[in-house]
Structure 1
Amino acid sequence: MALEIKRLRVGIEGKEVIKGIDLRIEPGKVVALMGPNGSGKSSLAYALMGHPRYEVKGSVKIDGKDINELTPDERARQGLFLAFQYPVGIEGVSVKELLLGAMRERGEKISALELRRKVEIEAKELGVEKELLSRSVNDGFSGGEKKKIEILQMRILQPKYAVLDETDSGLDIDALRVVAEGARMVVEKEKVGVLVITHYQRILRYIQPDRVVVLKQGRVVDEGGVEVVEKLEREGYKFYD
């Protein structure tokens, strides 16, 4: 049981940005993927979710099933979730409507009333204003509100594996703590496997990764425990030049 990536190569517009990496994210575990700008972190996130612009070679499996030929919606139904670095707006669709549609698409039998109650409970825990739940998704939301809504979606949908692409980007310290602790709760309670993509160590203080992988210029240059983060704090990414 794992989200397993083997010998993965990812290209876009004729340029190879991921150059043969291996990663394994197990249920209930957090893997932090760190690296400087341009190292290929977001490209990896989009490729995993099946973005059509990316050319992918190698193996990506969810619990032993190859998903390379699946569309993004099919990957979502297999249990993969992506929280975007820059969440987009969806005009005319509320958060509650989005989640209801997603759950019914997966074949789950849930009433609109039951879902509303669940969403409102999660929103309260994450500090999301109730009125945002009825507005178009991300319409006029602050950066922190958008990231909280992403975590709310993850907590409601309970995927098998989640990729959090620079979820800490643009957050103040209070919003960062709420978002990270909200993600950590899903890991602990629902045994979701999480890949956290980030430049910095600050979110890792709260989400507490089990393993840290450093990506630079499309290659894994280091991996280990929290000692890798401590090394980066002391030396920076220039250590891997």
Structure 2
Amino acid sequence: MGKKLLEINNLKAEVEGNEILKGVDLEIRKGEIHAIMGPNGAGKSTLVNTIMGHPKYVVSAGDIIFDGKKINDLKVDERARRGIFMSFQYPEEIQGITVENFLRNAKAAVTGKKSGILAFRRALKEKLKLLKIDDSYAKRYLNVGFSGGEKKKNEILQMAVLEPKLAMLDETDSGLDVDAVRIVSEGVSKLRTEDNSVLIITHHNNILEYLKPDYVHILVNGKIVKTGDASLAEEIEENGYDKFKALA
């Protein structure tokens, strides 16, 4: 068992005055993979956005403790600098900025140090090789003309370059075919160490068959109603959420 990385106590959060999270408790230790599943509108994306500090999501009660320090009042960029990363469900296309430039600037923003172009390029090539992504990818404009699978691979590449302590993946597998799910899963697995953790939100069991989470949490109506191992995801695949809705 690794050291405690993220601790969430009785977290309540609202969006535009509507309470979405109604008292979430969650603990993630270093080296663990956690999956959160639940029906639409349960609050899954709200949870990761609240952990990331998105200003639209307002904490009304509870604490978010990351690496031993309460981060409730920190802005998004401050949380990123402490080692929290979040992938987006719908990554934006940005004309005129190459993947390489974007990643170099993102790394500088998170670490506070700008690396030289050649040194960064060498490091990026290693990450591309690790993730089996073609070198030409780095020269393309960010997400412009990318397939769904390429956009998701790009998010895993970001994760590889930024080396966060906690990576939160919001429906990384949505809209991906079986091959793309496997490639993304392998990428996440390769980046996993004893010192970092992954929190993945998913609707499907497919990605979890590759990633093999340590814990699966069922979120219903703004609360975690059940926690178990990977077999919980299989149960949902077969029987849906009806049984768990009754627990909320």
The partner residue of 1:54 within 43, 57, 65 is: 57
Q: Residue type of the partner of 1:126? A: L
The partner residue of 1:144 within 136, 142, 149 is: 149
Give the superposition deviation at 1:16: 0.8
2:242 corresponds to 1:238: yes
Query: Match of 1:228, SS?
Result: helix
Alignment of 1:185-224 (within 5 A): 185-188=190-193, 191-224=195-228
Percent of aligned positions that are identical? 47
Alignment of 1:19-34 (within 5 A): 19-34=22-37
Give the structure-1-normalised TM-score: 0.94
Deviations 1:26-79 (A, max 9, x none): 111101101111111111111111111111131111111111111111110010
Equivalent pair of 1:5/1:24 in contact (CA under 8 Å): yes
Separation of aligned partners in 1, 2:220 and 2:150: 30
2:43 corresponds to 1:40: yes
- Counterpart for residue 108 of structure 2: 104
- Counterpart for residue 17 of structure 1: 20
Query: Match of 1:191, SS?
Result: coil
Separation of aligned partners in 2, 1:130 and 1:150: 16
Q: How much is the aligned-residue C-alpha RMSD, in angstroms?
A: 1.5
Equivalent pair of 2:208/2:230 in contact (CA under 8 Å): no
Equivalent pair of 1:128/1:149 in contact (CA under 8 Å): no
Equivalent pair of 2:149/2:180 in contact (CA under 8 Å): yes
Q: Flag structure 2 segments of 5+ consecutive residues without an equivalent.
A: none
Q: Flag structure 1 segments of 5+ consecutive residues without an equivalent.
A: none
Give the structure-2-normalised TM-score: 0.91
Deviations 1:79-138 (A, max 9, x none): 000011111123322221122122223134632112212222322343434333122211
Following TM superposition, where does structure 1 have runs of at least 4 consecutive aligned residues deviating by more than 4 angstroms? none
Separation of aligned partners in 2, 1:119 and 1:28: 24
Query: Match of 1:203, SS?
Result: helix
Aligned in 2, Cα 1:227/1:35: closer, same or farther, shift over 3 Å? Answer: same
- Counterpart for residue 113 of structure 1: 118
- Counterpart for residue 179 of structure 1: 184
Equivalent pair of 1:28/1:191 in contact (CA under 8 Å): yes
Equivalent pair of 1:128/1:145 in contact (CA under 8 Å): no
- Counterpart for residue 134 of structure 1: 139
